[in-house]
Amino acid sequence: MSLDSATTPSSSSTRPAASARRYDLDWLRIFAFGLLILYHVGMYYVSWDWHVKSPFASTTLEPLMMLSSPWRLALLFFVSGCATAFLHAKSAAGFVRSRNLRLLVPLALGFWVIVPPQSWAEVSEAVGYKDGYLHFLALYATAYPGFCRATCLRLPTWNHLWFVGYLWCYTMIAAAAWRFSPPQFLARLGAACARRLRGAWLIAAPTLWLALIRVALVGRFPETHALTDDWYVHALYFSVFALGLLLAREGAVWDEITRQRWTALALALASYAVVATYFSHYGDAHVPPDWVRQGQRVVYALNQWSAIVAALGFARRWNPADSRARRYLTEAVFPFYIVHQTAIVLLAHALKPLALRPVLEGPLLIAATVATCLASFEIVRRVGWLRPLFGLAPRATAAPIRPSPSTSTSTSTSTSTSACASTPTPAAQAGRPAPCPR
């Protein structure tokens, strides 16, 4: 998905043609996907439920995992909302067809080719399945219900690719809004939001909304990533997606985000300290008083939004120029996302008999995962028929990316989808999310 439009940072009323690129958002997306590889390697070593687990799993890394857990996915959905706005501004006529090809085709590949090895490794370790991968594929394709422990693994599944399915749904809602709402309705709504997100309200208003969602819904609708029953997750991520879509071209609000980046960072760090303390004190074994739980949910929402504002503000202040690294990584990041979790699960499963300590195995697992993703991308980008399967534009139609002038002050990112993700629960269609304080 490309973010092809820009606003002049100093003016909310200026809306240039969709030609410049938001390189700051490109780099944020690359950064978030880099965190995703580290996060999913970390899931192998913490006590939280996941597809495969290290024999040395413990609570040691959990406070570090919580440093990005509240905001990483919300940031990616916000950036994806910006991407959607820029893409629609660039080519409204072919928007739906383009999004279908760039999101649904890789999702289908992942569903039937990329993800099944994760489930095979999971049942091999969890229930001692030994009948071979081809036999497992037949069970996977026929929705075999018998892989059970405390809960049963639902097959087939999309595991970490739930993000792509959710993003497609939100994108289609946006397309319907553009199609059926009055002319310029979304543009006027975005301008109205931008006028109100000034001063303290830039952080306070979205934080209050996210806190309301968390207080009202998270206890009733735990994360499943199964699409149809995931009401807390939809309320959260569609909200930030929609906000990114509405604010993408509002230059004044990006100025305000840049101006408040240090305040946002201080609030993010302070609220993280509260969240990490709460989590380490209560964990999964103790039920806190209700007033403590509700207060923690508000602090969690503050951490979520202030971290997003800080990330957006520092990236905007950096205002990077184009580079060969940016062009390469922008194209590579979606294929990396598709492949990375399967690589982690299979590599961890293969390394387990060696009984390596995490201090040695962890860096080895990270390096091997990056190498696997890199090798996969280098093959995919060179083979024409593979490119659309991994969300890349066909070679014949891929537009060249021209470096922007060094004096440019605005940019625009390319996102096939933003992804990342914690893994869904086995009881749900998609695996297991990392536990967050409730």
Token pair 């509405």 in the structure block, residue: 246
The C-alpha atoms of residue 125 and residue 190 are separated, in whole angstroms, by 49
Structure tokens at 319: 């205002």
Residues with Cβ within 8 Å of 22's Cβ and at least 6 positions away in sequence, in order, are 3, 5, 6, 82, 86, 410, 411, 412, 413
Three-class SS state of 58: strand
Q: Could you tell me if 419 and 144 are in contact, meaning their C-beta atoms sit under 8 angstroms apart?
A: no
pLDDT recorded at residue 194? 96
CA 31 to chain centre: 11
Three-class SS state of 46: strand
Three-class SS state of 264: helix
Structure tokens at 426: 């086995």
CA 77 to chain centre: 6
Residue 1 CA: distances (Å) to CA of 30, 102, 226, 396 = 13, 7, 23, 17
Q: Report which of 215, 115, 223, 233 is spatially closest to residue 169, judged by C-alpha positions.
A: 233
Measured over the CA atoms of residue 194, residue 200, residue 204 and residue 205, the dihedral's sign is negative
Measured over the CA atoms of residue 287, residue 289, residue 290 and residue 291, the dihedral's sign is negative
pLDDT recorded at residue 284? 61
Structure tokens at 121: 């490794």
Residue 149 CA: distances (Å) to CA of 152, 225, 230, 269 = 6, 20, 23, 39
- Helix ranges (DSSP H) in 319-418: 324-351, 358-380
Structure tokens at 347: 């590599």
Residue 332 CA: distances (Å) to CA of 13, 335, 374, 421 = 34, 6, 8, 17
Maximum separation of any 2 CA atoms in the chain, in Å: 64
pTM here is: 0.86
Instruction: Supply the DSSP symbol for 84.
Output: H
The C-alpha atoms of residue 52 and residue 170 are separated, in whole angstroms, by 31
The one-letter amino acid at 198: R
Residue ranges of domains in the chain: 23-115+157-390
Q: Report which of 70, 43, 61, 24 is spatially closest to residue 340, judged by C-alpha positions.
A: 43
The CB density around residue 135, as the number of other CB atoms within 10 Å, is 12
For the chain, the C-alpha Rg in angstroms (whole number) is 21
The CB density around residue 31, as the number of other CB atoms within 10 Å, is 16
pLDDT in tens for each of the 438 residues of the chain? 444 433 333 333 344 344 478 999 999 999 998 999 999 999 999 999 999 999 999 999 999 999 999 999 999 999 999 999 999 999 899 999 999 999 999 999 999 999 999 999 999 999 999 999 999 999 999 999 999 988 889 999 999 999 999 999 999 999 999 999 998 999 999 999 999 999 999 999 999 999 999 999 999 999 999 999 999 999 999 999 999 999 999 999 999 999 999 999 999 999 999 999 887 777 665 778 888 899 999 999 999 999 999 999 999 999 899 999 999 999 999 999 999 999 999 999 999 999 999 999 999 999 999 999 999 999 999 999 999 999 999 886 554 444 444 333 333 443 333 333 333 333 444 444 444 444
The one-letter amino acid at 165: G
Instruction: Supply the DSSP symbol for 424.
Output: -
The C-alpha atoms of residue 423 and residue 414 are separated, in whole angstroms, by 24
Three-class SS state of 128: coil
The string of DSSP codes covering 200-262 is: THHHHHHHHHHHHHHHHHTTTS-----STT-HHHHHHHHHHHHHHHHHTT-HHHHHHHHHTHH
The C-alpha atoms of residue 413 and residue 75 are separated, in whole angstroms, by 14
